[in-house]
Amino acid sequence: MTASKDNVPRFFCDAMLGGLARWLRAIGYDAAFEYGIDDGRLVEQARSDGRTILSSDGGLFERNVVKNGDVRALYIPQQLSRLEQLRFVVTQLGLERLPARCMACGGELADVPKHTVTDEAPPLAFRHCDQFWRCQGCRKLLWHGTHWQKIEQKLAGLFGR
């Protein structure tokens, strides 16, 4: 573990924390989430991928592999809003904001020149946005529409900017 990229934590969110996974991707972290996954498989997956588990399920923290530190895990207090969950993780682990990933699949985003998306981008987005990205995972075309602006406002508050 010398290269700094190897030190960027990667996460696996439990079945209740899909929203948190999406927000972690928005601040640039690789956060896996699988709908309906049970604790046993979640722990196994996290161990084989070297991911840190984020969970609000107290039972998970009773498992030996978690107790003995074989699998890293952070308990997320229950009843926090999604944004509070994100703030909790950021504060506890001292996370910095990184370039956004695709909120849907967690893939990395690559810049796409605007002139190449004339036919693909919706007319409104094409008129109002100058930057476009392509998710390297699901290949979706992304831009900073009104939905993203709301997210951006919340994130800016979170990182004190």
Q: How far is the CB of 33 from Zn ion (least distance, A)?
A: 13
- Does residue 65 touch Zn ion according to CB under 5 A? no
Q: Does 19 bind Zn ion (CB under 5 A)?
A: no
User: Residues 6 or more apart from 69 whose CB is under 8 A from it?
Assistant: none
Stretch that binds Zn ion, among 42-50, 73-81, 92-100, 137-145 (CB under 5 A): 137-145
Q: Which of 137, 141, 144, 148 binds Zn ion (CB under 5 A)?
A: 137
- Between CA 123 and CA 130 the distance in angstroms is 12
d(CA 122, CA 79) in angstroms, rounded, equals 38
CA 86 – CA 92 distance, rounded (Å): 10
Other CB atoms within 10 A of residue 104 CB = 13
Which of 105, 117, 125, 129 touches Zn ion (CB under 5 A)? Answer: 105
* Interface residue list for Zn ion (CB under 5 A): 102, 104-105, 107, 135, 137-138
